[in-house]
């Protein structure tokens, strides 16, 4: 066992771990708060940093609060439940600022205060549980902080309210339905606007199953609307597996198979910000990584000409259905952004809206976006590091940042969403 050490936590890392200095080393210690005076042990050491384990707290930080979840510290889902929410917001603002300074080399960036979530508990509309057969039984739960072990759970305080019974019903159902499971799987629960649940069940390998069991389950459990099963290229559907999103008098058709934002109340604030930034005279707008077309149709509702691009074919199918449902006109294209953009090389766009995955924009896609020379861009990012990297290149090509506005989409975690508005000088 390594030596027992004392220290004071002075900050948080970009992944929500406490930071302190031990001689020349920066030590990362999970589940600590700035201002904590602690005993700890070094668990792993590299050349310039080390990882530590909290032994006990000698004096608690003023920022520390009792976690609400009984699994906190073991489950890998949340990192910040032990820190007051107001302090979480300050930390997330600093994370964005640090990324812009360190990665983007933009030390003078002005980052607005993080817009807080009205709901910082019971806000998630969907959660994913890992399914793993172990020692003759089925383990169903979240992945632990070791990134390997499955932690069975009966509740989750950041999942939408009235979910505990649904999780227990799901676990009972899966233990019967997947009795002979030999490989891993995932079970994603979606809460619909009608306060029912949809299950999206994904298995790694094909399995011989009793396909009557899901139908019986739905008949006996009124809180469940439908079940979608995917096993490789095989799909089965029971009940109703499509739902909808309503915003600003528009309705979008959505499915558990495609990406949708997990915090509807907070994402509505972002969509409002987008439409406010791009309102005014009619514009030609390119909406990249458009998903099911929420921002595309909100902009089309304002009278703009919108072209949306998305790699997921089902997302584009749903976007087109939603456009017809709402009586709106928008163009949607299926494919990777970098491969579709050359088809529009002669087109003129007043604005480009960019909402990429965590990895950010590929160098090829970003190069082709910049060749379009739109008058303005709105970039929405869920990863400060890749945002900073991409902004550095965009700003080097004649664009100037007008606004950097973070939003707290995932309270109790280190994740932060950031909207950036840029204009061509």
Active site residues: 382
Strand order in the sheet with 18-22: 5-8, 37-45, 49-59, 25-29, 18-22, 11-12
CA dist list (Å): 14 to 17, 27, 117: 8, 13, 20
Residue 375 CA to residue 90 CA, distance in Å, equals 32
> Tokens 């990777």 identify what position?
336
Question: What is the distance between the alpha carbons of residues 50 and 15, in angstroms, rounded to a whole number?
Answer: 15
Q: Output the six-digit token pair for 220.
A: 């006996």
Q: What is the DSSP code string of 378-393?
A: EEEES-HHHHHHHHHH
d(CA 122, CA 237): 28
Strand order in the sheet with 305-310: 331-334, 305-310, 284-288, 351-354, 376-381, 417-424, 399-407
Gap between the Cα atoms of 160 and 191, Å rounded = 7
Distance of CA 260 to the CA centre of its chain: 9
CA distance 392 to 12: 24
Closest CA to 394 of 417, 412, 410, 374: 374
Q: Is 45 exposed, middle or buried (0-12, 13-18, 19+ CB in 10 A)?
A: middle
- Residue 274, Cβ neighbours under 10 Å: how many? 23
Structure tokens at 256: 């558990």
Q: How far apart are CA 253 and CA 4, in angstroms?
A: 56
The answer to whether 71 and 153 have CB atoms below 8 angstroms apart is yes
Burial class (CB in 10 A: 0-12, 13-18, 19+), 143: middle
Whole-angstrom distance, CA of residue 13 vs CA of residue 52: 13
CA distance 408 to 88: 9
The CA-atom distances, in angstroms, between 192 and each of 21, 89, 260, 413 are 47, 28, 12, 23
């Amino acid at each position: 066992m390594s030596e027992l050490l004392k220290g004071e936590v002075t900050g948080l890392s970009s992944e929500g771990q406490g930071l302190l200095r031990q001689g020349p080393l920066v030590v990362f210690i999970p589940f600590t708060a700035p201002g904590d005076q602690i005993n700890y042990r070094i668990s792993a050491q590299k050349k310039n940093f080390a990882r530590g384990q909290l032994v006990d707290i000698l004096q608690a930080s003023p920022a520390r609060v009792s976690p609400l979840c009984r699994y906190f510290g073991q489950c890998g889902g949340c990192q910040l439940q032990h820190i007051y929410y107001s302090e979480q917001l300050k930390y997330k603002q600093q994370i964005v600022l640090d990324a812009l300074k360190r990665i983007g080399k933009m030390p003078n960036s002005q980052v607005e205060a993080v817009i807080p979530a009205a709901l910082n508990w019971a806000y998630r509309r969907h959660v994913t549980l890992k399914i793993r057969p172990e020692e003759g039984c089925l383990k169903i739960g979240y992945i632990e902080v070791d990134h390997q072990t499955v932690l069975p759970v009966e509740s989750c305080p950041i999942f939408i309210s009235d979910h505990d019974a649904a999780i227990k019903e799901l676990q009972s159902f899966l233990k019967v339905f997947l009795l002979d499971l030999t490989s891993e799987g995932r079970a994603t629960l979606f809460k619909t606007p009608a306060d029912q649940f949809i299950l999206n069940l994904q298995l790694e390998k094909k399995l011989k199953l009793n396909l009557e069991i899901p139908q019986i389950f739905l008949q006996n459990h009124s809180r469940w609307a439908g079940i979608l099963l995917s096993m490789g290229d095989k799909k089965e559907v029971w009940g109703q597996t499509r739902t909808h999103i309503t915003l600003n008098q528009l309705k979008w058709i959505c499915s558990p198979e495609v990406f949708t934002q997990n915090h509807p109340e907070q994402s509505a604030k972002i969509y409002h910000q987008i439409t406010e930034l791009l309102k005014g005279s009619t514009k030609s707008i390119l909406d990249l990584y458009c998903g099911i077309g929420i921002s595309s149709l909100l902009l089309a509702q304002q009278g703009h000409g919108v072209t949306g691009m998305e790699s997921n074919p089902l997302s584009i199918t749903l976007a087109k259905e939603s456009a017809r449902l709402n009586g709106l006109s928008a163009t949607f294209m299926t494919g990777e952004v970098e491969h579709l953009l050359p088809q529009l090389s002669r087109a003129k766009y007043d604005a480009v809206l960019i909402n990429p995955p965590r990895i950010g924009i590929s160098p090829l896609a970003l190069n082709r976006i910049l060749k379009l020379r739109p008058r303005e861009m709105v970039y929405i990012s869920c990863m400060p590091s890749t945002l900073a990297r991409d902004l550095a290149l965009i700003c080097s090509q004649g664009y100037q940042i007008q606004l950097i506005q973070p939003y707290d989409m995932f309270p109790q975690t280190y994740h932060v969403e950031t909207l950036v508005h840029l204009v061509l000088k």
